[in-house]
Structure 1
Amino acid sequence: MNDFDFYKSESIADAVEKISNHTDSRFIAGGTNLIDLLKYNLLRVSSLVDVNSIKNQSVTEKDGLVLLNAFATNAETAYHPIIEQRYPLLSKAILAGASAQIRNMATNGGNLLQRTRCYYFYDANTPCNKREPGSGCSAINGYNRNLAILGTSEHCIAIFPSDMCVALSALNATVCVTGSEGERRIPFSAFHRLPDDTPELDNNLLPNELITSIELPAKGFEKNYSYLKLRDRNSYAFALVSVATAMELENDTIKEIRIALGGVASKPWRVQEAEDFLQEKAPTRENFSLAAEIILQDAKGFEFNTFKIELAKRAIIRNCLMALNPSSQLPGAQPSA
């Protein structure tokens, strides 16, 4: 870890000003991923700007919308009564991530900004286009079991590891940011990037911009929802495949459905064509199976992760069936037929 200056900020404006006045500077809140990057010498900074003091209420309601404070912890958010009652899908997804200790430190804004856990990204002795553009991608012909099957490029097959963001994608959240050029709102679908030929860019934040809040629409799909995370072990493991399903039913017909996948791409993955296909149809295993085929139609496996294509299809079907009866998500329960 290199030497750096450390500054504390008491306001958003002060934080943006401080980071704008220093090159190679980063914001820090919980630091659960940033500190790892510094310790492994994958990131070198001249200064850190601490934003932990910029903290109001973790969750607020405004004009029917709900705002998540970007500086609140994942734990504060997941257990907040408004989130548990109106957005249980989000609460369940957050609690599926990391460990209790990490959720007590990690912040909502930091969750959106965490970097891939690709083995080769963390190994500074191997080529990695995400770490060093133009050096090559070791994962494509390496051990790629946990890496992407959708949205890949010849330059990168890394995945985005967040659970929280899969639910935020299904809920059509909006990311609110402030920078030296002012404030702006970014639709969640446009926040993270696919690798294409610039895999080093994880998201569409501008230089010196700070995430201040995450806006949730009024509709929380609290009656029919499910989050399923398939991983190698039940505690503290990143997803091989995860699925967030948010559904609205009327007279045994799907009026609206959102299906977002995690663990399969460099951003939460949604396919509008599949959601449109299910609209006004019966919520049956057959229809969910057809939707799964649409979602995975462009999937491409590599030597060790081809199994994830079929795994993702089965996960989609299972999770959609679980969403018909959220109580089926209790331990030992079986999804409806």
Structure 2
Amino acid sequence: MLQQIIQTLPQVLVDGLTLGFIYAVVAIGYTMVYGILELINFAHGDIFMTGSFVGAGMLFFLLSIGFMSSVPSLILFIIIILVAAIVTGVLGVGIERVAYRPLRRKNAPKLIALITSIGISFILEDAVRFIAELKTGNYILTAPPMFQHRFVLNVHSVFPFFNNATFQSSFLVVSIVTIIMLISLDIFVNRTKWGMAMRAVAQDRETASLMSINVNRVISVTFFIGSALGGATGVLFLIQYGTIDPYIGFILGIKAFTAAVLGGIGNIRGAMFGGILLGVLEMFAAANLSIITNNAMDSGYKDVFAFIILILVLIFKPEGLFGKAAVEKV
């Protein structure tokens, strides 16, 4: 049994990193908003879904006008991901101004904002489903293949106890773009004035406003960046997996939120690590659960495995792997 598990580790790592990168970027959207507003924005998973549909719509439009045949796939991909990021970024800002800012001005309980975010999630799902069915007659879309060239990672010749791993060129695209986004965000938050303002508002919103920081503008920028990253990740999901529907944001959003909690909610680097760790754990379970349980459980139980790991981590470290225990002054 152990030998079989070890042999599949390279493929598990490749698949786990692909999924983990997607979880990581979506988790960052949750943790950025929570860090500033202490709000769990459950609509964020559906902003990710909206980005994937915007990307698919752009792809079909460019295909219909013959643009794809005359432009390299990489240029096409850059156009699509930029459009999806801008659209979802603006959508995120609009949601904040229409749904969350009025509640904040009235000092509404946080539970009200949480319920509002759930309502927005359902609105986005049904709106996207309506538009997709109106335009295509079906709310499940399959995108034309991009970056489908297959590679073989020849691990076995160097380490005979491992099997070779295979991956498509889309894995490289997803990995490189995700790493660029994560590094850029880390630099933005830690090295720029806007990032400093975001950290100040997250630490103490009232004091930041007294120091001439426009809190509402900082919150809008936070929503724009988090939503734009989520929409761009939706395009990466589309490129990697090909098929999307209006409900992919729900379960993926829950898992990304889980990744944010696992890494330490409010900690951006923790969300990155938590997403990658969750993706690898999920793929490990999908590949090996049937072996470990002697066929009593199959890959369909991979979500259970991932959430059991989360529960164990939170039992022994409730603030998450990279979070800091909150100290309340009495």
Structure with larger Rg: 2
User: Taking CA–CA contacts closer than 8 Å with sequence separation of 6 or more, which of the two structures ends up with the larger relative contact order?
Assistant: 2
TM-score by length of 1: 0.25
Which structure shows the bigger proportion of residues in helix conformation?
2
TM-score by length of 2: 0.25
